[in-house]
Amino acid sequence: MRLDRAMVNEYFRELHNYILESRKAGKYAEMYLAKYISKILNDAKLLVKLRLVKSITGFDIEKNSIDEEILKSIKEAVENISKYLAGIYLVTPDGRIVVRIEKDTIINGIRYKKGDLTVIDLKSLVFYSALNIVKPIESLIAGIFSELK
């Protein structure tokens, strides 16, 4: 199911109308609306979880979906964490990952220019990689791995 902006906006308009009408109708209508919203919240959580699982397991992400960029970032996070755990990335003895800076930026109060190298922790890799600010450097193991494929 594609989550496009028009569909979500239509739901918001309808919900707004229901809220206004329930205020006029009284306490029981407001209680019914609260239960209705609670059920919608549960359904929305289930839908998000299904979309996450689909994305992580390799299904195509729908173009122009409201969550397209988020799903791509999560898929990339899984890839980065997996490569880190497999030893594909160049890692320092204290467990930080060597990365190349892709855009001028400031990380932990230090200014970097595009092309600079630095080391960051895994959480920072996931975050900055999702923003296309850093690219991890692969270790020699990555070269051996790609030759064996």
pLDDT tens per residue across span 7-47? 888 888 988 888 888 888 888 888 888 898 899 999 989 98
- Tell me how far apart the alpha carbons of residues 68 and 2 are, in angstroms, rounded to a whole number: 10
Summary mean pLDDT of the chain: 88
**Quick one: pLDDT at residue 80?**
94
- Tell me how far apart the alpha carbons of residues 87 and 138 are, in angstroms, rounded to a whole number: 9
> Which two structure tokens, joined as six digits, stand for 22?
């329930």
**Quick one: pLDDT at residue 141?**
75
- Tell me how far apart the alpha carbons of residues 75 and 6 are, in angstroms, rounded to a whole number: 25
**Quick one: pLDDT at residue 147?**
63
Q: Name the DSSP letter for residue 134.
A: E
**Quick one: pLDDT at residue 23?**
82
pLDDT tens per residue across span 68-107? 888 888 889 999 999 999 889 999 999 999 999 999 999 9
- Is this model's pTM higher than 0.85 or not? no
> Which two structure tokens, joined as six digits, stand for 43?
């359904």
